[in-house]
């Protein structure tokens, strides 16, 4: 078993050898039907092809046997179909170049892949929406540079990721992948003498065409698709990385679920690792790495060379499958995520009022000026108990009494417009 088999989803079937074979036969059948409709092959030939160009008669094993001899995957397919059609086998693949079949099959695969990925991603959005709503008022400490900043809410945290997921989904939705081509060796339709054959085939398969092709559809299409998946992967990594960091023993605000029989370490029995989040972060790197070859596949020589073929056999399927996989992993995380409210509150009050120094600085600005207030509070922030240090400071205590200071430095009184921001986002969905 290959290591990559560890990350299977339903998209493995879409990109499987068997499914590709079925789709190749389908395209060859539709090509024959279109040729028949335009009077290019006789009815009896088309009848035989429509009956025999199926997996009932044409076997993948036979195609592989032929390929060992001819070293050409599509011609192996053509020969295998022709064997089953007798004298009418001469009408198989009439006018077509290999990538009339391959690019059309790819369009069918990518169309299905995109649909399944969007469906899974919509679930992620729904789960994130639920968490955003559920925890919209749960105050916590915000962190910048890994250091305590000012208070925020878990509604803001989840809301931020919800917004990023919506943007990433929109990007994939706008990428059109359902293209096919039946335009011949260099895209001129010379072998067909008409564009109508392409219209018939693609309409039947519910695919679109590009206005101009060479021997292949422009690889800009594939590059845009992979970039959209990489954007989704990066958003998921951002989400997963936050979960991982909040999962740290010292922070302990968020935890992935941990099944009764689950093992965190082969030697350290106490370990409960954020293993799903770590897996998402790792696989996101692999997904992004396929952007480079997808861009290089655009600049093929003249009307096409073969340098794109080998990479596409890897990058299109693996980018799709891995993106789908990490979306499903994130969905598992979100549906069982545990928030440690006690530790969230403890961390929020950890700095003894220093987390609201900005609020006090703003209040002091009218009294002593912003910069003087900033310098004063910067020095007091070094004290173990910031609130007590502030109360004992003669300058500050001359303007605010102890009760006012405690109110100003209470994190619950310095959440800004967080509730309104989150509610507005939720109301927009």
* Close Cβ partners of 115 (under 8 Å, ≥ 6 residues apart): none
Contact 283, 322 (CB under 8 A): yes
Rounded alpha-carbon distances, angstroms, from residue 120 to 81, 131, 235, 275, 324: 37, 17, 14, 20, 7
Do 184 and 194 form a contact (C-beta atoms < 8 A)?
no
Catalytic one among 71, 145, 266, 428? 145
Give residue for tokens 């695919």.
207
The CA distance from 302 to 299, in Å, is: 9
Joined together, the tokens standing for residue 183 give 């335009």
d(CA 98, CA 78): 10
113 carries an active-site annotation: no
Tell me how far CA of residue 116 lies from CA of 61, 165, 202, 237, 335, in angstroms.
Answer: 29, 16, 21, 20, 19
CB 275 within 8 A of CB 256: yes
- In whole angstroms, what is the distance from residue 363 CA to residue 357 CA? 10
State both tokens at 38.
């335009």
- In the residue annotation, 338 being an active-site residue is answered as no
Q: How far is CA 3 from CA 6, 7, 8, 74, 131, in A?
A: 6, 8, 10, 29, 34
Q: How much of the chain is helix, strand and coil, in % rounded to 5?
A: 65, 5, 30
> Could you tell me the two tokens for 357?
């120094």
Helix (H) / strand (E) element for 175: namely none
Angle between helices 98-134 and 220-246 (to 10 degrees): 30
SS3 144: strand
334 and 383 in contact (C-beta within 8 Å)? no
**What single DSSP character describes residue 140?**
E
Catalytic residue among 16, 265, 299, 346: 265
* Of 12, 18, 53, residue with least CA distance to 32: 53
| Residue partners of 190: CB distance under 8 A and separation at least 6 | 184
Burial zone of 146 (CB within 10 Å; 0-12 exposed, 13-18 middle, 19+ buried):
exposed
The structure tokens 């040729």 sit at 35
Q: How many CA atoms lie within 13 A of 40 on its CB side?
A: 19
Catalytic residues: 145, 265
């Amino acid at each position: 078993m290959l290591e990559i088999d560890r990350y299977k989803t339903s998209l493995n079937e879409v990109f499987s050898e068997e499914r590709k074979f079925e789709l190749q036969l389908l395209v060859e059948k539709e090509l024959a039907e279109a040729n028949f409709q335009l009077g290019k092959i006789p009815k009896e030939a088309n009848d035989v092809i429509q009956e025999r160009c199926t997996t009932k008669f044409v076997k993948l094993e036979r195609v592989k046997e032929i390929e060992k001899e001819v070293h050409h995957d599509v011609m192996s397919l053509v020969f295998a179909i022709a064997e089953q059609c007798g004298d009418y086998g001469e009408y198989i693949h009439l006018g077509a170049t290999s990538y009339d079949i391959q690019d059309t099959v790819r369009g069918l695969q990518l169309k299905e892949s995109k649909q399944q990925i969007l469906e899974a991603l919509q679930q992620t959005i729904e789960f994130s929406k639920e968490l955003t709503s559920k925890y919209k008022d749960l105050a916590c400490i915000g962190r910048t540079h890994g250091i305590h900043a000012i208070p925020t809410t878990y509604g803001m945290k989840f809301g931020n990721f919800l917004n990023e997921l919506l943007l990433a989904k929109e990007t994939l939705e706008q990428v059109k992948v359902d293209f096919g081509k039946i335009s011949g060796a260099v895209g001129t339709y010379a072998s067909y003498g008409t564009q109508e054959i392409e219209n018939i085939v693609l309409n039947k398969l519910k695919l679109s065409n590009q206005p101009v092709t060479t021997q292949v559809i422009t690889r800009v299409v594939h590059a845009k698709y992979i970039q959209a998946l990489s954007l989704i992967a990066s958003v998921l990594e951002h989400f997963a990385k936050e979960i991982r960091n909040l999962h740290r023993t010292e922070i302990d605000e968020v935890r992935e679920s941990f099944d009764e029989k689950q093992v965190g370490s082969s030697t350290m029995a106490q370990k409960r690792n954020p293993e799903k989040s770590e897996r998402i972060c790792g696989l996101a790197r692999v997904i992004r790495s396929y952007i480079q070859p997808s861009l290089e596949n655009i600049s093929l020589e003249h009307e096409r060379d073969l340098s794109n073929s080998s990479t596409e056999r890897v990058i299109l399927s693996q980018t799709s499958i891995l993106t789908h996989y990490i979306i499903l992993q994130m969905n598992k995380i979100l549906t069982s995520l545990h928030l440690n409210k006690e530790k969230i509150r403890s961390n929020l009050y950890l700095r003894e009022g220093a987390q609201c120094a900005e609020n006090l600085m703003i209040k002091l600005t009218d009294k002593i000026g912003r910069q003087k207030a900033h310098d004063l509070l910067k020095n007091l922030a070094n004290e173990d108990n910031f609130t007590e240090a502030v109360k004992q400071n003669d300058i500050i205590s001359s303007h605010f009494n102890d009760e006012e200071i405690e109110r100003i430095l209470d994190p619950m009184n310095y959440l800004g417009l967080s509730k309104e921001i989150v509610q507005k986002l939720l109301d927009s969905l």
